[in-house]
Structure 1
Amino acid sequence: MIGAADPETLARELLGRELHELDDEEQAVICRVAAGTYSQLDADEAAQIASTFGDRLADRVARVGGSWGFILFFACVLLAWVLINAGYVYGVPVFDRFPYIFLNLMLSMLAAMQAPVIMMSQNRQSKKDRITARHDYEVNLRTQLEIVRLSRKLDKMVHLAIREAKKAEDSIEEVAQEVRKTTD
């Protein structure tokens, strides 16, 4: 990558703008590029470091609550509830007759608890997506800067090679003229 350099010079030479004209994120990337440093964490690690216990718990609850296993388990629980309270399971007392008011209360309480937890998980995921986007942006900007630097270096090398080829051609022409003079 680009070695240590002045951020002002890098911004001017590679992006064609002054450092103060760049947004904060671009300035930070240019400064890291100029210093020769980079972020050693990937986006997932950075998001994990920024997460709290509640965030991780919300993710787990949302992961379980949004799985087929949970849906199938919950469907079995609902079916068992209805069968027990409809009197189809002998030896088990009916505790919530039709219209299953207690079941409605339990489902409402579950929904009241699950909805905010799922929203917390979605908020965390969007924060993680923003971290990933910033990380991707930095990688893309660094790549773009490196491509520009390599392109300029290649242009200089090509121009140098052309000059050297012209010098060699001129030398060959001089030698050819000398040979012609000596043979005449």
Structure 2
Amino acid sequence: MSDRDDRRLRLDQPRETGRGWRRQGRRRMDPETFGRFAEGFARFMGTATFIAWMTVFVAAWLFWNTLTPESLRFDPFPFIFLTLMLSLQASYAAPLILLAQNRQEARDRVTQEQDREQTARAHADMQFLAREVASLRLALGEVATRDFMRSELRGLVSDIEERLAGPEDEQADGQVDPTPR
């Protein structure tokens, strides 16, 4: 029995799908590689460089087929071959541009979802911080502030000064207050 037949009979391994002649020697193109190619192509087609080279190509084609002797012309006046070439270029360009747009939309969708999640987290954080600030304000309502402490200390200092100054004034008059303060 051959190795291939042996693999077919094994039950512990998955079977290969598709026809045998397609599997052998045929490489699969990575979709990411083709997608990157399509994006690069679409990006190049949107540049002034592409438009300039395409203009030079068409102008050279027109000049060659109008100004050279008739024996050297390969595309006479209606320029059917030029029209065919431009149509062929457009028929390849359109799907590649659409593929690049689809890939960009997918990236934009992922970015938008990440932004939405980040916004939701930021909103939750802001709500949490607002609740914390509110609880701190409530707690600070019960805590003595610096201004309150200063006013209380000033009041105590003035009371002490009055008590200390009070007996001296009374001794000067000759009268002593018998009641303690």
TM-score of the two chains, using structure 1 as the length reference:
0.61
* 1:159 corresponds to: 138
* 2:129 corresponds to: 150
RCO higher in structure (CA 8 A, sep ≥6): 1
Structure whose alpha-carbon radius of gyration is higher: 2
Residue from 124, 127, 139 that aligns with 2:106: 127
Superposition deviation, residue 169 in structure 1: 5.6
Q: In the aligned structure 2, how far is the partner of 1:151 from the partner of 1:82? A: 72
Residue from 44, 48, 63 that aligns with 2:43: 63
Q: In the aligned structure 1, how far is the partner of 2:64 from the partner of 2:148? A: 99
Moved over 6 A (4+): none
1:29-72 Cα shifts (integer Å, max 9, x gaps): xxxxxxxxxxxxxxxxxxxxxx7112211100100111111011
Q: In the aligned structure 1, how far is the partner of 2:132 from the partner of 2:68? A: 82
Q: In the aligned structure 1, how far is the partner of 2:148 from the partner of 2:57? A: 89
Higher helix share: 1
Superposition deviation, residue 147 in structure 1: 0.9
In structure 2, list runs of 5 or more residues that go unmatched. Answer: 1-30, 164-180
* 1:80 corresponds to: 60
Q: In the aligned structure 1, how far is the partner of 2:94 from the partner of 2:42? A: 9
- Which deviates further from its counterpart, 146-155 or 75-84? 146-155
In structure 1, list runs of 5 or more residues that go unmatched. Answer: 1-50
Q: In the aligned structure 2, how far is the partner of 1:115 from the partner of 1:169? A: 77
Superposition deviation, residue 98 in structure 1: 0.9
Q: In the aligned structure 2, how far is the partner of 1:89 from the partner of 1:158? A: 91
- Number of aligned positions between the proteins: 133
Aligned-residue Cα RMSD (Å) equals 3.2
* 1:39 corresponds to: none
Residues 21-100 of structure 1 mapped to structure 2, 5 A cutoff = 52-86=32-66, 88-89=67-68, 93-100=72-79
Superposition deviation, residue 74 in structure 1: 0.1
* 2:93 corresponds to: 114
Letter in 2 for 1:126: E
Q: In the aligned structure 1, how far is the partner of 2:35 from the partner of 2:58? A: 29
Superposition deviation, residue 79 in structure 1: 0.3
Superposition deviation, residue 114 in structure 1: 0.4
Letter in 1 for 2:55: A
